[in-house]
Structures are given as C-alpha cells and as structure tokens.
Chain A
C-alpha cells in the first residue's frame, strides 16, 4: 500500500500556467504537517535539551546558565545511598521500585485472571466489564480522594470492621510511613487493572478457536490449555500491557499527591513528586532537572525499543 501512496499523480498538463499552483499543491501536505512537527521539535525535544542543560548548571530558585558540571547528579548519586536517615531521593527511587514492581505485577495477574474468568461464556458480561473498567475514566485526584477516605483508619475500612465486631482489626497503612506506598499500589491497581483486563480479553477473543479444540481433543485439561497454549499466545498483549503499565507507573504523580499528600515526611514520594518538590518548592532547580532527566532516561529505555520495533513492522 505504501508504494502506491508515494507515487503521486501529477495532474497538470499545462505546466506553464499552473506550475506555481501545482508546486504549491505538492508542498501543501508538508506545509500542513509542518506546524505540528515544529511544535514537537521545539516544545518536546528542545525543552528536553533545555532541561538537560539546566541539570548541569547551578540553578536554584531561578535558572542560571553557567555550566557547573554534574554536581546535581553527584548529589543524587550520593543521596542514592543515604539510608540513615533516608534521603528524599532514596525514598523516591525505593518507592518507585516497590510501586512499579507490585503495580505492574498485580495489574497483569489480576487483569489476566479476570479476563480468563470473563471469557468462560459469562451471563452478564456486558454488565461486569464496564464495572471493572470505569475507574480508568476517573482522574487520579478523584481516585486518591476516594481511597483516602476509604482507607482512613478513623472513618473508613478499619472503623467499619470495628463496628461489625472485628475490633482487633488494624489497618493504618495510609498514615504509616513504612507502608503508605502500598496504599498507592492498591489505589493504582484499582484504577488500571480493569483496563489491563480489557486488553487481555480482546487478546483472548482473538485466539483461533480451532487451536483450543485441537488441544482439547488431545485431552488437555483447562488448566493445561491456558498454561501451555493460551498464555503463550497472549505474549504480544503482555508486552503492550507491560509498556502501558511501566509508562503509567513512572509518570504517576497525581495519585501520590491526592491519596497521601506525599505521605508522612514525604515517605510516599515517587521520583515525579521529588522532581516537582525540588524544582518548584525547595528551589533546587538543577537537582530537580537532573531527576527529570533520570526519569526520562528510564522511559526512553523502555519505550524507544518498543516504538522502534512497532514502526519498523508497519510498512507491510
């Protein structure tokens, strides 16, 4: 198809009269695309370079443009090992590890599990699917507000179970600096797992029924069928879901703010919160920029190979 599209048909026999016009017509597509492309180059790539530049300066409250070397990175590096008491950066990247790992793992597992359950010719699937998926339409701020209330020890779940007679029940993670990040995992999983379910369900529906039948004729149990045949066939979905979740996890910012306000002593911070606080509130612009660059590099490492392979495959 692509070869057809590239050979444009010139429709002007009278070149002399219409040459300017036809030239313009030829250039028109590029002229139309140019503003968007220019905007992207300046406001995305230019700004990224600008941020990288700032991370090598000594900028505090205001940007300063004298290069002073990698001091911001040295500080981040030193803070990476500052565990007693833990530095904000140490807390942020440790939280990123915990949150990223659990969030991706639980969303994948739960999404696959629900998709398989829903794929068993369930009556009422049309009602259940939207219920699992609606949190994705909410903003992280709303999700955070809802779960903040739900997990509040004095008013939420703990209080409710006490009233029902389970008085020894204790659940104060949201106020506990060692556990607050796990509440972010809970709310995050609640929000995104339904979407992952939908991705897996679409994948399951795309599997050829003949393969399943053949396996069953060979005497495979349902469990074997899923383990040996269905799940391996879902590999591309796993990859897409992983990319989506990893990308969402690294960008997570709002949820921490709304759910925990950063947690006791900033104990729920992720690198995105670190960046915002250091850049806009603590007047450490260079350090903030350096942390943004590190976030970007993490995304690049995940996304670029994926996009590259996706775009390479395109011209069929």
Chain B
C-alpha cells in the first residue's frame, strides 16, 4: 500500500506556485502530526516529572530532572480503590485474560472460516451473516443477561467447590471474561479467516480429498501452513480489542482483585483521596497503553490490515 506511488501529475502552474504548494502541504501535514503526537508527548513528559514541577511548570516543557519514581509508584504502590499495591497485579490480570481469549477465539475463527469456505453447505451464508452481525451489536443489549448467567454459574461454582473441592473455574472473574471475549470475538475472527480462505485455491483442498486426506488433515497440513499472515492479523486485532475493552471488564470484574488493566487505570485516575498525583496517573496510563503500542510499532502493517478487514469486507 505504501510502496505504490501515484503516477506523476504534471502541474499547470509555474515553479513558484509549485514550491509554495509544497510548503503549504508539508506545513499542514506537520501541523497535524503535532496534533496527533501532542497528547502522547504530554502524557510521557508528565510521567517523568515531579509533582512540584507539574504544578509550577509548563505542561509542554521537558522534565528538568527526569525521575522514574512515578512509574515505580504506579507499578508497585499506587492506590486502586482501597488497596495500595500498584497496578502490577491488574496488568497480569489482563495478560491472563487476553492470552487464552485471543488463542481460543482465533483458533475457532480459523476452523469456522475453513468450514464456511471449503465445506460449504446450504445456509452457510445465513450462518455467517448471523455470526457477523453479532460483531456489531451494542454490547449493552446482552450485558444484563450475561451478568445474570455468570452470576448463576458463580453460585453453581460455589456448590461445586463445596462438594468437590474445586469450582472448575466457574465464578472466577478472569475465566468469565475469557468466556465473554471468546463469545463476542468469534464473529470477527470468523470473518477474517473466511475472507482469507475464500481466496485460497479450492483445487488444493479437492486434490487432497481425492488423495484421501481427512477434514482435519487438510486443515492441519494445507490450510494452517498457509495462514500465517491472517493469524498475525487476527491475533493482533483480538489482542488490541480485548486488552482495551472496558465495558465487559467493568461489568463483570469491576471490583476486587480480578479487574483488568483498563478498569484499574480508570480507578487510579478517579481515586480522589488526598493530592491527585498526575505524574503517577500518567505513568499508569502509559503502562496500560504500552502493550498495544508495542504491538503497533512492531507489527503496524498487520494492525492496519486487521482494522481494514474489520471495516471493509470482501
């Protein structure tokens, strides 16, 4: 996408007009780059300043004596609600939630996409349409029933705990969130894989069938080895979405030790006991943003492809 340059367009004006045009264009582009970078810049410099410098200094100035203390405090000491043990626990909560949710939903999406393109049956499009629409619903319309169901599963988990000594994960907020994210994520993962496999040569699958390969053999030996790009796209898309989720997280793990990073960050920022430590807040926000930013920096191309695939189908 980036490598393709547009064909030369001869300009009608003279040399001067052209130069002025270029200056205006570059000026505007630079101005907008500032607009996009500003909040991140402010967040970053603030996180390295002392409170004294924040209150008396300029928001945009670089820290005079950069200090790492706000980051350490955000990670290990700051108060989330009433417990003051930093956000590190919540960071790990998010990891524990994101990894299984991403893996399960991606794997299911791959299988679904494979079935929907290479083993078509009557009504496949309807099935896909119903699953696809599920991606777009406002989650408010399922929030309450899901809370009710998770609540009863939790009570059942307590019974199991008392009878067998283990609840099998029922009622565990992290397990609940993994489940919720898988349920509401398979629409997108199926979409990604379906569109990718649609372009995959069906002849190969047919040839393998003639050779007697089974459903799963074809999937494992032919489809999977050729699916690397779409796996990367899907994993990144799911990772970003689930890591950044706030609605489900606050509804099903909004209090207590199991809350994910986004909820914890919101609590840190809105904790109103004593002086508001802006530098710690900003450091906490940076920590919450780092995993997805890192993925973006390392694999931006795939990130954009995922967004596009989620937006423009076909």
Q: Any chain B CB within 8 A of the CB of A279?
A: yes
Find the A residue at minimum CB distance from B247: A253
Q: Does B196 contact A (CB under 8 A)?
A: no
Instruction: Tell me if A1 counts as interface (CB < 8 A to partner B).
Output: yes
- The smallest beta-carbon distance between A103 and chain B, in angstroms, is 16
Q: Does A82 contact B (CB under 8 A)?
A: no
Partner of B288, one of A129, A139, A209: A139
Q: Pick the contact of B43 from A6, A39, A133, A149 — CB < 8 Å? A: A149
Cβ–Cβ contact A221 & B29, under 8 A: no
Q: Are B145 and A50 in contact (CB under 8 A)?
A: yes
User: Is A37 a contact of B262 with CB atoms below 8 Å?
Assistant: no
Whether the pair B266, A141 counts as a contact (CB closer than 8 A) is yes
Q: How many A-B residue pairs have CB under 8 A?
A: 292
The answer to whether the Cβ of A33 comes within 8 Å of any Cβ in the partner chain is yes
Closest-by-CB residue of A relative to B180 is A43
Assess the B288–A142 pair: CB atoms within 8 A.
yes
Closest chain B residue to A240, Cβ basis: B312
Return chain A residues, CB-CB under 8 Å to B64: none
Question: Shortest Cβ distance from A124 into chain B, in angstroms?
Answer: 8
Give A31 to B240 CA distance when docked, in angstroms. 30
B118 in the interface (beta carbon within 8 A): yes
Q: Is the CB of A47 within 8 A of B146?
A: yes
Instruction: Provide the A118-160 mask, 1 if CB < 8 A to any CB of B, else 0.
Output: 1111100110111111111111111101111110000111011
Q: Quick one: which of A8, A148, A250, A276 contacts B269, CB cutoff 8 A?
A: A148
Number of interface residues of A (CB under 8 A): 118
> In this assembly, does A299 line the interface, its C-beta being within 8 Å of a C-beta of chain B?
yes
Q: Is the CB of A195 within 8 A of B307?
A: yes
- Which residues of B lie under 8 Å from residue A67 when comparing CB positions? none
* Partner of A5 from B36, B43, B60, B117 at Cβ < 8 Å: B117
Q: Does A2 contact B (CB under 8 A)?
A: yes
Partner of B2, one of A32, A126, A209, A295: A126
Contacts A128-B29, A251-B139; A216 near B130 (Cβ below 8 A): no
Q: Are B133 and A33 in contact (CB under 8 A)?
A: no
Query: A85 to nearest B CB, angstroms?
Result: 25
A257:B246 contact, CB within 8 angstroms: yes
CB-CB under 8 A from A257, the residues of chain B are 246, 266
B165 within 8 A of A: no
A residues 239-286 near B (Cβ < 8 Å) are: 240-241, 243-244, 247, 250-251, 253-254, 257-258, 261, 272, 275-276, 279-280, 285
Please provide the chain B residues from 1 to 45 with a CB less than 8 Å away from any CB of chain A in the complex: 1-2, 4-7, 9-10, 12, 25-26, 28-29, 32-33, 35-40, 42-43
B132 within 8 Å of A (CB atoms): yes
Q: How far is the CA of A6 from the CA of B206 in the complex (A)?
A: 11
**B183 in contact with A132 (CB, 8 Å):** no
Let me know if A296 is at the binding interface, CB within 8 A: yes
Q: Is the CB of A279 within 8 A of B144?
A: yes
Q: Contact check, B144 vs A33: say whether CB atoms are below 8 A apart.
A: no
Give the docked Cα–Cα distance between A190 and B38 (Å): 10
In whole angstroms, what is the CA distance A134 to B44 when docked?
15
Chain B residues, CB < 8 A from A199: 308, 311-312
* Closest beta carbon of chain B to A304's beta carbon, Å: 7
A-chain residues with CB within 8 Å of residue B144 when the two chains form the complex:
50-51, 54, 63, 279, 285, 288-289, 292
> Chain A residues near B134 (CB, 8 Å)?
40, 44-45
Q: How far is the CA of A198 from the CA of B301 in the complex (A)?
A: 11
- A295 touching B140 in the complex, CB below 8 Å, given contacts A117-B28, A141-B266, A190-B39: yes
B140:A131 contact, CB within 8 angstroms: no
**Contact check: which of B10, B42, B246, B296 meets A254 at CB < 8 Å?**
B246
- Asked if B92 lies at the interface with its beta carbon under 8 angstroms from chain A, I say no
CA distance A275 to B5 in the complex (A): 48
Q: Does B75 contact A (CB under 8 A)?
A: no
* A4 and B202 contact, CB distance less than 8 A: yes
Q: Of the candidates A6, A130, A148, A237, which one forms a contact with B300 in the assembled complex, judged by CB atoms under 8 Å apart?
A: A130
Chain A CB within 8 A of B164 CB: no
Which B residues touch A47, using CB under 8 A? 141-142, 145-146
Closest residue of chain B to A219, judged by CB?
B12
Query: Which single member of B38, B206, B269 contacts A150 (CB below 8 Å)?
Result: B38
Q: Which chain A residues lie closer than 8 Å to B293 at the CB level?
A: 134, 137-138
In the complex, the answer to whether A296 meets B288 with C-beta atoms within 8 Å is: no
- Sample (13) of A-B pairs whose CB atoms are under 8 Å apart: A9-B210, A33-B111, A33-B127, A44-B183, A125-B2, A137-B292, A140-B244, A141-B246, A149-B46, A150-B59, A244-B311, A257-B246, A311-B125
What would 15 more interface pairs be, CB under 8 Å, given A29-B119, A44-B137, A145-B285? Answer: A6-B120, A28-B215, A30-B121, A32-B111, A43-B184, A137-B292, A142-B288, A145-B266, A150-B39, A150-B42, A195-B307, A275-B143, A291-B140, A299-B137, A314-B125
